[in-house]
C-alpha cells in the first residue's frame, strides 16, 4: 500500500495536473480553473483584473521579447519596460566598444533622445486567446492516419487564423496543447521599435557569472530597461525619430513594501519549453542524445572562446554575448542530468507507465485505442545513434564554428552566377545583403579563434559518430590531410573568402562562380547543411510516430484521471503561475533562507575577478549603507528572494507580482537542485530566483543617478 501511494503521488507530480504550486496556466482559463485557489492563498484580485479582452488587465502589461526568448513588463504609462540584464545582453554588447564599454560600465539614457535603437528586436502584446479545440478537431476521426489528421488540423487552423486576422495589423496563430489534444487561437500585436534605456554594469547584472548561474543564494542585480515605441498613430512601426512611446492599456505599479515568507507571489510570462509528460524513453534520450553531447561539445567550445576573451578588452566584448548564450545551457544540461539521476526520474516514469498499461489492459475498448501508445513512443527512440548524430552535428558544426554559417549565406549566389548577366540584379541584391550583415559579423569575430573551433569540434564529431553520418567533405579530410583537422582548418582559413572582411569585400565587388566553387568554407557548409537536412528528415519520421504515441498517451492519462485538472506544457505562450515566497532545504541539515542582502555581495567580492569583482562606487555605497527608501524595515538592502513558482526558460525577465497586482521582483533563474524541473516538477525543491525590485530601484536611483526613471513609475510605499 505504501508503494502504491508513492506511485500515485509521483504520478501527480510528473504528469502535470495541478497540486501545490506546480502549473503553468493559461491566464484566459484561470476564472474557471484557479481563481478560487489563488484567492484562498492570498490573491486580492479578480480573474477579470488578471485577464480581460474588454478592459485593462495585468496581461496587458506583460510582453514577449523577441517572440518569447524572454519576458518583460511595462512599468510606466510611456512604455518603459523592465526585464533581465541577460535578456538585453546582446543589445548591450552590440552597442559596446572599447571607447563605450557598456558591458563594463553600464548604460543609462538620461533623456529619451539618448535611448538606443535595436534593429530586429521586438515586443509582443497579447490581445486575446480562444479555445478552438472543438473547431480544429471537428472533422478529425479516430481511424485517420497521422498525416490525414495533421492535414485537416493545419487547414482548419489556417482558416481560423485568417478569419481572426481579418484586415487588422494583428498576428494570429493556433497552437497545440497537451500533446495535440487541445488547441488555442492567439491574437497578438508586435512592435518593432524597441530602444535600450538602461543597464547596470556586468559586474552587477551578471554578478557571479557562470559560477553562480542556477545557484542559490544569489546576489545578482539581473535587470535592464527598454522602451517600446509605436508610430504616431499608436500602431507598430519600424524605427523612426517621429515614433512615440507606446501608451499601454495597463502598466504595473511598483511596490517597495518588501516581501515576507509566505507572501502570495504570482508570475506572468512566456515560458519556453517544458516536457512534463515525457516518458522514460524520452528521459533517457534527453540525457544521452542531447545533454551529454551538448556538455562535451560546448565545454571544448567555451574553453577556446574563453581563452581568447582573456587576451584583451576588445576580445572580451566581441565574444561576451556568444559565450554567455552557450554557457547557460551547457551548465543547464549538467544540472538537468544530475537532477534526473538524483531524483530517480527514469524509474519513477517507468512505474507510471506500468500503471497506465495495467489500466489500459483491463478494458477492451481502452486496449483498442491506447495499447500501442507507449510502444510507438519506445519504437521512435530505437535509433539512438541517429538522434545523437543530429545533435552532434548541430552543436559542433552549426552552433560552434561561425565561418560555415556565414558562408552559407552566399550559397544562393552559386546558381545565379551560372548566368551572371541574366541574374545581375539578383546577384547585386544578395551581395548587398551580405555586405550589410558583414560589418556586424566581423565586428565580433576573430578568425584565428574560429579556426581553432573548427579543428577541435570537427574532430569531436568525427570521433563520436559513425562514418554514415559524416558530411561528404570529411572523406577529403581523411584522404588529403590524413584525418588531421588542424591542417584542414589552417588550409580552409588561408584560402576562404569568408575568413576575412577584406577578402569577402573584394569578392563581392566582383562575384565569381569559379571562386565560390573552390571555396572550402562554402563547400563544407553545403555538405554540413545537406547532411543536417538528411538527418532531420530521418529523425522527423521517428518523431511523427512519437507524436502520435504521445497524443494517445496523454489522452489516456486524462481519461484515466477524470477528476484531475491538467495543465499544458510551456510552448512560448503567456502563462501564469502562482505560489508563495518560501525557503527550502536542499539537503540534510541545510536550510536556505528565502532572501539575501547586499552584505553577501561584498562577502563574495574577489577584486579583479571577471565574475566577482565589485565596482568601486558600488562598494562605497554598500559600505556606507546608503539605502534610502529602498531599505527593508530591518535597515538592510535585500538583493534577491525565492518563491516556489513554476517557471522555465523564457520566463527570464518575468514580473513577480504580489496579491494586489504590484511588482515586487523580476524572475531570472531556477535553482540547481531542481534542474530536472522541465521534465519532472519537484515540489519540495523547485524554486524561482528573483531580484528584489528594491535592489533594482536602488541601482537605478542611487547608483546610476537615473532618478528620472523612478519618477516615471508609480511607486507604492
Q: Are 560 and 552 in contact (CB under 8 A)?
A: no
Considering 222, 450, 613, 678, which one is annotated as catalytic?
Answer: 222
**Which residues make beta-bridge pairs with 126?**
188
Largest CA distance in the chain: 81
β-pairing, 715-716 vs 688-692, is: unpaired
Helix (H) or strand (E) holding 190: strand 182-191
- Burial code (b: 16+ CB inside 10 Å, e: under 16) for 412-437 equals ebeebbeeeeebeeebeebbeebeee
Residue linked to cell 492563498: 41
Using CB atoms within 10 Å of the CB of residue 373, give its burial: 0 to 12 exposed, 13 to 18 middle, 19+ buried: buried
Catalytic residue among 85, 86, 219, 470: 86
Instruction: Quote the cell numbers at residue 548.
Output: 502520435
With contact defined as beta carbons under 8 Å apart, do 159 and 90 qualify? no
Phi, psi of 418 (to 5 degrees): -65, -35
The partner residues of 107 in beta bridges, in order of sequence, read 199
Alpha-carbon distance 107 to 199, whole Å? Answer: 5
Write phi, then psi, for 351 (nearest 5 degrees).
-65, -40
- 229-242 burial, b if ≥16 CB within 10 A, otherwise e? bbbeeeebbeeeee
In order, the DSSP letters of 589-606 are TEEE-SEEEHHHHHHT--
What is the spatial distance between Cα 564 and Cα 585, in angstroms, rounded to a whole number? 29
Helix, strand, coil fractions of the chain, as percent rounded to 5: 50, 15, 35
Instruction: Spell out where 605-687 has E strands.
Output: 638-643, 655-657, 663-670
Locate the DSSP E strands across 113-156: 116-117, 123-131
Known catalytic residue: 222? yes
Active site residue 624: no
Q: Which residues pair with 174 in a beta bridge?
A: 185
Sign of CA dihedral 391, 291, 323, 110: positive
Q: Which of 652, 654, 659, 676 is catalytic?
A: 652
Return d(Cα 201, Cα 704) in angstroms, integer.
Answer: 10
Give the span between the Cα atoms of 70 and 116, in whole angstroms.
Answer: 19
List, by residue number, the catalytic residues. Answer: 86, 222, 652
Amino acid at each position: 500500500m505504501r508503494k502504491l501511494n508513492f506511485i500515485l503521488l509521483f504520478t501527480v507530480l510528473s504528469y502535470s495536473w495541478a497540486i501545490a504550486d506546480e502549473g503553468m496556466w493559461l491566464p484566459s482559463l484561470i476564472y474557471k480553473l484557479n481563481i478560487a485557489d489563488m484567492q484562498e492563498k492570498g490573491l486580492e484580485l479578480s480573474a477579470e483584473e488578471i485577464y480581460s479582452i474588454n478592459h485593462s488587465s495585468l496581461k496587458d502589461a506583460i510582453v514577449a521579447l523577441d517572440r518569447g526568448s524572454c519576458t518583460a513588463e511595462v512599468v510606466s504609462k510611456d512604455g518603459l519596460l523592465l526585464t533581465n540584464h541577460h535578456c538585453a545582453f546582446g543589445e548591450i554588447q552590440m552597442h559596446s566598444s572599447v571607447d563605450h564599454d557598456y558591458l563594463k560600465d553600464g548604460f543609462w539614457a538620461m533623456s529619451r533622445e539618448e535611448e538606443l535603437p535595436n534593429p530586429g528586436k521586438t515586443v509582443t502584446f497579447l490581445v486575446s486567446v480562444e479555445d478552438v479545440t472543438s473547431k480544429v478537431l471537428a472533422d478529425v476521426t479516430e481511424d485517420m492516419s497521422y498525416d490525414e489528421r495533421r492535414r485537416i488540423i493545419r487547414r482548419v487552423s489556417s482558416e481560423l487564423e485568417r478569419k481572426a486576422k481579418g484586415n487588422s495589423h494583428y498576428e494570429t496563430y493556433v497552437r497545440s496543447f497537451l500533446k495535440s489534444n487541445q488547441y488555442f487561437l492567439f491574437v497578438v500585436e508586435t512592435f518593432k521599435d524597441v530602444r535600450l534605456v538602461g543597464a547596470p554594469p556586468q559586474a552587477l547584472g551578471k554578478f557571479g557569472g557562470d559560477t553562480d548561474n542556477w545557484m542559490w543564494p544569489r546576489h545578482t542585480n539581473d535587470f535592464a530597461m527598454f522602451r517600446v515605441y509605436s508610430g504616431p498613430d499608436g500602431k507598430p512601426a519600424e524605427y523612426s525619430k517621429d515614433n512615440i512611446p507606446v501608451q499601454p492599456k495597463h502598466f504595473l505599479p511598483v511596490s517597495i513594501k518588501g516581501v515576507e515568507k509566505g507572501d502570495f507571489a504570482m508570475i506572468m510570462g512566456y515560458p519556453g519549453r517544458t516536457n512534463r509528460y515525457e516518458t522514460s524513453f524520452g528521459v533517457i534520450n534527453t540525457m544521452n542524445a542531447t545533454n551529454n553531447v551538448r556538455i562535451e561539445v560546448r565545454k571544448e567550445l567555451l574553453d577556446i572562446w574563453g581563452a581568447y576573451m582573456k587576451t584583451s578588452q576588445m576580445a572580451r566584448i566581441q565574444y561576451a554575448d556568444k559565450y554567455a548564450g552557450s554557457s547557460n545551457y551547457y551548465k543547464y544540461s549538467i544540472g538537468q542530468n544530475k537532477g534526473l539521476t538524483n531524483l530517480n526520474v527514469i524509474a519513477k516514469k517507468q512505474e507510471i507507465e506500468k500503471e497506465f498499461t495495467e489500466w489500459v489492459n483491463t478494458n477492451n475498448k481502452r486496449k483498442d485505442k491506447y495499447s500501442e501508445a507507449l510502444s510507438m513512443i519506445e519504437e521512435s527512440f530505437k535509433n539512438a545513434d541517429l538522434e545523437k548524430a543530429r545533435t552532434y552535428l548541430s552543436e559542433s558544426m552549426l552552433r560552434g564554428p561561425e565561418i560555415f554559417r556565414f558562408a552559407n549565406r552566399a550559397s544562393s549566389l552559386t546558381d545565379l552566377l551560372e548566368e551572371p548577366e541574366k541574374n545581375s540584379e539578383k546577384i547585386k541584391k544578395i551581395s548587398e545583403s551580405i555586405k550589410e550583415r558583414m560589418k556586424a559579423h566581423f565586428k565580433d569575430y576573430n578568425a584565428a579563434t574560429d579556426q581553432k573551433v573548427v579543428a577541435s569540434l570537427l574532430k569531436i564529431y568525427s570521433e563520436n559518430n559513425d562514418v554514415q553520418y559524416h558530411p561528404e567533405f570529411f572523406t577529403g579530410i581523411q584522404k588529403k590531410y590524413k584525418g588531421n583537422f588542424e591542417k584542414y582548418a589552417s588550409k580552409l582559413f588561408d584560402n576562404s573568402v569568408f575568413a576575412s572582411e577584406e577578402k569577402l569585400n573584394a569578392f563581392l565587388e566582383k562575384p565569381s562562380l569559379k571562386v565560390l566553387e573552390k571555396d572550402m568554407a562554402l563547400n563544407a557548409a553545403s555538405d554540413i547543411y545537406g547532411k543536417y537536412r538528411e538527418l532531420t528528415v530521418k529523425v522527423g519520421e521517428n518523431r511523427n510516430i512519437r507524436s502520435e504515441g504521445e497524443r494517445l498517451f496523454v489522452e489516456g492519462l486524462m481519461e484515466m484521471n477524470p477528476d484531475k485538472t491538467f495543465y499544458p506544457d510551456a510552448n512560448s505562450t503567456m502563462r501564469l503561475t502562482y505560489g508563495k515566497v518560501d525557503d527550502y532545504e536542499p539537503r540534510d541539515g541545510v536550510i536556505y533562507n528565502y532572501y539575501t542582502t547586499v552584505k553577501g555581495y561584498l562577502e563574495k567580492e574577489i577584486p579583479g575577478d571577471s565574475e566577482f569583482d565589485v565596482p568601486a562606487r558600488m562598494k562605497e555605497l554598500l559600505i556606507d549603507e546608503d539605502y534610502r527608501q529602498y531599505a527593508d524595515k530591518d535597515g538592510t538592502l535585500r538583493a534577491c528572494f525565492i518563491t516556489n513558482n513554476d517557471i522555465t526558460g523564457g520566463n527570464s525577465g518575468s514580473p513577480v507580482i504580489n496579491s494586489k497586482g504590484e511588482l515586487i521582483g523580476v524572475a531570472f533563474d531556477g535553482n540547481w537542485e531542481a534542474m530536472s524541473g522541465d521534465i519532472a516538477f519537484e515540489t519540495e525543491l523547485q524554486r524561482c530566483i528573483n531580484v528584489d525590485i528594491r535592489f533594482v530601484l536602488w541601482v537605478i536611483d542611487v547608483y546610476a543617478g537615473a532618478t528620472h526613471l523612478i519618477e516615471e513609475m508609480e511607486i507604492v510605499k
